[in-house]
Amino acid sequence: MPNWLMKSEPEELSIHDLQRLGRARWDGVRNYQARNFLRSMQEGELFFFYHSSCPEPGIAGIARIVGATYPDPTALDPNSHYFDTKASHEKNPWSAIDVEFVEAFPRVLPLARLKAAAELAGLALVQRGSRLSVMPVSAAEWAAVLAMR
């Protein structure tokens, strides 16, 4: 079963928000490659919940995919930051997926520490210029991150 990493700005949805809510919709993905990764996810798969665009970016915990992707309603909402003028009810190119809380790490694993780990050198997150918000994580990378928490 594949594992993933998904980024969220904590002001929008943090691991602690998800812990409080139990479940939430993961939406707002506006990169085609990241969207394609999102669409390939299957119910039950796990992902690292990464806090981005914040004072301490890093992996904050683990969450699980719940169900299949569906059209992202934020693309159709003119009041949403993720509104897409080209999207319509008939042709919405963007997807959302529901997720549920699994675990919050005792402390965020900072990006600098992830970059310093030799066993994570192949992880897309630590590659120069990588800005994807959804990415696969190999079994070896998953195990390496779990050992760091």
pLDDT tens-digit profile of 40-75? 999 999 999 999 999 999 999 999 999 999 999 999
Contact assessment for residue 109 and residue 145, using Cβ atoms and an 8 Å cutoff: yes
The DSSP bridge partners found for residue 32 are none
| pTM of the model as a whole | 0.95
Buried b (16+ CB within 10 A) or exposed e, 8-17: bebeebbbee
| Per-residue pLDDT tens over the stretch 75-108 | 999 999 999 999 999 999 999 999 999 999 999 9
Domain ranges across the chain: 3-148
Say if strands 95-110 and 134-137 run parallel, antiparallel, or are unpaired: unpaired
* CATH class for the region spanning 3-148: alpha beta
How far apart are alpha carbons 138 and 149 in whole angstroms?
17
